[in-house]
Structure 1
Amino acid sequence: MSDLSIRLRPVLEADLDMFRRFGSEPGLIGLDWAGFRDAHGPARQFAHDGYLGADYGRLMVEVEPDGVAAGFVSYIAGKYGGPVGYWEIGIALLPQWRGRGLGWRAQAMLCDHLFAHSPVQRIQAGTHPENIAEQKSLEKAGFLFEGIVRACEFRAGQWRDGYLYSRLRTDPPPPL
């Protein structure tokens, strides 16, 4: 367990450099590298909605009390059917903050935030079969493994399977 205290906060203009790094440094994001991205995209998105859109958003994971940004969590709306959809969440932490107990707590905090401010019943997250650390993080954050999603992602020149996890509003929250 980490003794570091964290909070989630909205994206600030100063955070855009981190987003640019994730889009331009192949090793920084790890298994989620999907090729180079538009270096000006983060500034355009920030100018458009501050990364707090109705169907998509990001919140910074900040280590307290120093206010250091360790990475970010993201959420995007999805829909299976019916009037209320679900959120799919993700996380990206800078390498020096990984393995310190921040990830699972940030994802649990994001779930609490989304359940408190939207009517969704379901939050889901996907990860790579080889990402054991993220699988453990999701389980610690209260997610349950649902199964394998075959050939769901094109990465490093080939189609790859993914693991799907979910947390329902009615599931017990993890102890933070």
Structure 2
Amino acid sequence: MDVHRPAAGAAPGGVVLRPAGESDLDLLEALTNDPDTAGEYQWFGWHDPGYLRRRWRDHGLLSADGGMLVPTMDGRPAGLVSWHRTRTGPQAYCWKIGLVLLPEARGHGIGTEAHRLLVRYLFAHTQFNRVEATTEVENRAEQRALEKAGFVREGVLRGFDFRDGQWRDHVQYSVIRSDFGDG
């Protein structure tokens, strides 16, 4: 199975995930460090502007504990997907994933397909059984994207994240291998 290709039935030139190149770094910095590009639910204030460049230089934004890939649509970068290892028990871990799309890429199904491709990639190349995602309770678009991508809503995490001067509730989602047909 080629995990970088669109799902069956997707339009030609659909969403593809690829490693970030040096030419993507300005885009990735804007998605994480610019309020207009990051959007309402992803803007957490300015931070170290060289962080992503150092990570890219050190390990290409890919490591055993996590990484970032660039979802593209018709060859054009549409945003970023990320994952990091999270402990779930004394000897167990899962992946926690995230997604940020460029403003012009939102609302076109790219997020749903990028989530689906990332889960397929993680299940194909790691032994972890679970992938988690959270999003703010008010972020209905991301909740729909996660559900369409096969994630199961598990519940509300109260006071989970601090953004824009307030503690925010999040909705917890997950998918396990058997949900995704890889059990």
State the TM-score, normalizing by the size of structure 2: 0.89
Question: Equivalent residue for 1:42?
Answer: 52
Quote the offset at 1:61 in angstroms: 0.3
Q: What is the rounded CA distance, in whole Å, between the counterparts of 2:96 and 2:30 in structure 1?
A: 23
1:32 equivalent in alignment to 2:42 = yes
C-alpha contact 2:69 2:82 (8 A) present in aligned 1: yes
Gap runs ≥5 in structure 1? none
Q: What is the rounded CA distance, in whole Å, between the counterparts of 2:10 and 2:140 in structure 1?
A: 18
Q: Tell me how many residue pairs correspond in the alignment.
A: 171
Which of 58, 62, 84 is equivalent to 1:76? 84
Paired residues for 1:139-158 under 5 Å? 139-158=147-166
Quote the offset at 1:159 in angstroms: 1.2
Question: Equivalent residue for 1:135?
Answer: 143
Quote the offset at 1:21 in angstroms: 1.2
Quote the offset at 1:2 in angstroms: 7.3
SS of the counterpart of 1:87? strand
C-alpha contact 2:113 2:149 (8 A) present in aligned 1: yes
1:50-84 deviation digits (Å, cap 9, x = unpaired): 010111200100112xx211111100100111423
Query: Over aligned residues, Cα RMSD in angstroms?
Result: 1.5
Quote the offset at 1:32 in angstroms: 1.6
Q: What is the rounded CA distance, in whole Å, between the counterparts of 1:54 and 1:172 in structure 2?
A: 22
Letter in 2 for 1:61: P
Which of 7, 28, 44 is equivalent to 2:16? 7
1:160 equivalent in alignment to 2:135 = no
Quote the offset at 1:172 in angstroms: 3.7
SS of the counterpart of 1:123? strand
Question: Equivalent residue for 2:6?
Answer: none
Letter in 2 for 1:51: L
State the TM-score, normalizing by the size of structure 1: 0.92
**Counterparts in 2 of 1:49 and 1:24: CA distance versus 1, 3 Å:** same
Q: What is the rounded CA distance, in whole Å, between the counterparts of 2:179 and 2:32 in structure 1?
A: 34
Letter in 2 for 1:97: A
**Counterparts in 2 of 1:46 and 1:172: CA distance versus 1, 3 Å:** closer
C-alpha contact 1:11 1:60 (8 A) present in aligned 2: yes
Paired residues for 1:60-99 under 5 Å? 60-64=70-74, 67-99=75-107
